[in-house]
Structure 1
Amino acid sequence: MNALLYGLVVLIWGTTWIALKWQLGEVPIALSIAYRFGLAAAVLFAWLLWRRQLVLPRGRARLWVLAQGLCLFCLNFVCFLNASRHIASGLVAVVFSSAALWNALLARVVHGRVVAPQVLGGGTLGLAGLLLLFWPEITAHQAGAATLAGLAWALGGTLCFSTGNLLSAALQGQGLKPVQTNAWGMAVGTVLLVGYAAVAGVPWAFDTSPRYVGALLYLAIPGSVIGFTAYLTLVGRLGPERAAYSTVVFPVVALNVSAWAEGYRWTAPALVGLVLVMAGNVLVFRRKPATPASAPAPAASPTAPSPRPPNRA
């Protein structure tokens, strides 16, 4: 089951990049994100009502759901879209792919969880592979104030994403399912984005073209309803650090989509990078060999007579 969820996350989120690009245009970014998560929240609420599983978070869980909505379904998308204004999209993807390491480090700081060496090693290999994949784009970008601003935005988005992962793990620890917390979290993100648009005077617009509507439906249903539910289920099952390794793998899928739709050309360094990413994936999921249990000492026979001390009389 974990392999199926992991494959869904990689394939779906690896193909959402082209849909995001198709949404850029006359509709303001904040509204496009609000349309996406508003529709996704409506679908999730309808599903929960039909299944009679709609639960209103209470107590501390309510605050955590609000924080998750702010981090996962609002701020991180604002950060990444702002980063894309300053630096190349490949560089943004490289920064975002560090989520596996940030998840492990935040889990260490917040929960005191020990970071497994294979997780750090696999994440490092994956990052090295992505650097090779995106090296031409990285080296072509001129360093400067805009680059530093873009890196700051991208790092902020990654930290928001990792914080949302830890919040989801905590909510699942309280017995709430990802599909339940996602519905409320996406609703929170939608309200925040619409409120920002109203206060900032963002002009209301909607694009009725087949490309925009198709991209919106794909981002809302597979990209959000299925993708986030599958991913956060992995967070609960595998832990935030292992689940987030999908963020290292799905840019490879995005590159293959780009090769088909945008003319991306594979190079020798890119192929080496792909091998490193896959090697890191294997390392992260490698299980430690089971330690054989020591054989128990044979029990004394109940019929054997107890030794008698010698007669010294």
Structure 2
Amino acid sequence: MEQARDRVALGSFAVTCLLAGGNAVGIRFSNRELDPLWGASVRFGVAALVLVAIMAGMRLAWPRGRALAGAVLFGVLNFGVTFALAYYALLHIHAGLGQTLLALVPLVALLLAVAQHQERFRPVALAGTLCAVAGVAVISRAPLQASVPWWTLLAAGGAVLSFAESAVLVRRLPKVHPVTMNAVGMTAGAVVLFVASWVVGDRWELPERAVTWWALAYLVVAGSVLTFIFYLLVIQHWGASRAAYVFVVIPVVAIAVSAWLDDEPLTVSLLLGAPLILLGVYLGALRPGGEEPEG
């Protein structure tokens, strides 16, 4: 049984990394025509409708009480706050650098989970996180030489904190089907994003360019519906700090895709940093015999 659960988690981990790696590129293409919060609102609003339709098809019950409140809070943090900040940051930085900054999520998730008595502190997890962050630093060395406004880095840091806390939160909530959790969460997050978009005065216009429609289609189906269903499966099986290692694999995918579609520089640093990232992921998330979360 345990081996079957690990296979499900490992498969979900791999799919999440692959699909989420294209998200930052899709966001940058969307941001070139749509105002950022409006683009995020459309993305998660449509994804929420798709998930509600899937719920209906699967005859899944709508959560109530503490489960409903928890799913709403998860959505506000994971989709509303996180993506409002991330979309803003990606106006000013390349997709690869954006995903690289999000690679700090495992470290923050580990510290938050320990502080909230959800997981035991594991020295090997800290070693894995530091190794992975070192790999990310090597990969991002060239892009970081460009001037990045401090408020952009602050927005990216806020997205990291919100992402990490939402992952920790999931383990505290009553267990809810991943489709249902994301349907409720994305609905709540979309409401937050629509309100924020209205407050800042975004132009509520539909795209005119075909490339923007394709980017939105990817962000809705692959980057939202599928990615976050698989991500929640990883959290439920592995816990917050192990699941957060998707954020140190994603930059490798993101930089490669961004180099292909968005002309981001692709240097030898990727070849030097990737092995460190993979070693860190192995130590922190994939190593056999790792301790289970406390609760």
For normalisation by structure 2, the TM-score amounts to 0.89
Contact 1:168–1:178 (CA under 8 A) maintained in structure 2: no
What are the superposed Cα offsets for residues 205-235 of structure 1, whole Å, 9 maximum, x if unpaired? 1114321111111101111111011011100
Residues 203 and 9 (structure 1 numbering): CA distance in 2 closer, same or farther, change over 3 Å? same
Alpha-carbon distance in 1 for matches of 2:78, 2:20 = 14
What are the superposed Cα offsets for residues 161-210 of structure 1, whole Å, 9 maximum, x if unpaired? 11111222222xx2212211110111111112222333444332111432
The one-letter amino acid of 2:49's match is A
2:132 alignment partner in structure 1: 126
1:170 matched to 2:172? The reply is yes
2:161 alignment partner in structure 1: 159
Which stretch shows the higher mean deviation, 75-84 or 39-48? 75-84
Taking the TM superposition and a 5 Å limit, the aligned residue runs for 1:136-215 are: 136-141=142-147, 146-147=149-150, 149-171=151-173, 174-215=174-215
1:306 alignment partner in structure 2: none
1:39 matched to 2:40? The reply is no
1:24 matched to 2:31? The reply is yes
Secondary structure of 2:171's aligned partner: helix
Residues 289 and 130 (structure 1 numbering): CA distance in 2 closer, same or farther, change over 3 Å? closer
Q: Which runs of 5+ in 2 are unaligned?
A: 1-7
Contact 1:90–1:138 (CA under 8 A) maintained in structure 2: no
Secondary structure of 2:22's aligned partner: helix
Secondary structure of 2:116's aligned partner: helix
Alpha-carbon distance in 2 for matches of 1:139, 1:204 = 35
Contact 1:88–1:138 (CA under 8 A) maintained in structure 2: no
Q: Which runs of 5+ in 1 are unaligned?
A: 291-313
What are the superposed Cα offsets for residues 61-99 of structure 1, whole Å, 9 maximum, x if unpaired? 333222211111111111123333455554433321011
1:288 alignment partner in structure 2: 289
CA RMSD of aligned residues (A): 2.1
Alpha-carbon distance in 1 for matches of 2:153, 2:262 = 25
Contact 2:234–2:243 (CA under 8 A) maintained in structure 1: yes
Instruction: Give 1:118 deviation, angstroms.
Output: 2.0
Alpha-carbon distance in 2 for matches of 1:214, 1:241 = 33
Alpha-carbon distance in 1 for matches of 2:231, 2:216 = 20
Instruction: Give 1:22 deviation, angstroms.
Output: 1.4
Contact 2:102–2:156 (CA under 8 A) maintained in structure 1: yes
Secondary structure of 2:205's aligned partner: coil
2:235 alignment partner in structure 1: 235
Instruction: Give the fraction of aligned pairs with identical amino acids, expressed as a percent.
Output: 30
Alpha-carbon distance in 1 for matches of 2:202, 2:267 = 42
Aligned length: 283
Contact 2:89–2:152 (CA under 8 A) maintained in structure 1: yes
Alpha-carbon distance in 2 for matches of 1:25, 1:257 = 17
Contact 1:103–1:241 (CA under 8 A) maintained in structure 2: yes
1:97 matched to 2:103? The reply is yes
Residues 90 and 257 (structure 1 numbering): CA distance in 2 closer, same or farther, change over 3 Å? closer
Alpha-carbon distance in 2 for matches of 1:265, 1:84 = 16
What are the superposed Cα offsets for residues 274-293 of structure 1, whole Å, 9 maximum, x if unpaired? 11111112212112399xxx
2:19 to 12, 19, 22: 12
Alpha-carbon distance in 2 for matches of 1:202, 1:138 = 29
The one-letter amino acid of 1:19's match is G
Instruction: Give 1:38 deviation, angstroms.
Output: 1.0
1:64 alignment partner in structure 2: 70
Contact 2:95–2:258 (CA under 8 A) maintained in structure 1: no
2:141 alignment partner in structure 1: 135
Instruction: Give 1:248 deviation, angstroms.
Output: 0.3
The one-letter amino acid of 1:258's match is S
For the pair shown, which has the larger CA radius of gyration, 1 or 2? 1
Residues 31 and 140 (structure 1 numbering): CA distance in 2 closer, same or farther, change over 3 Å? closer
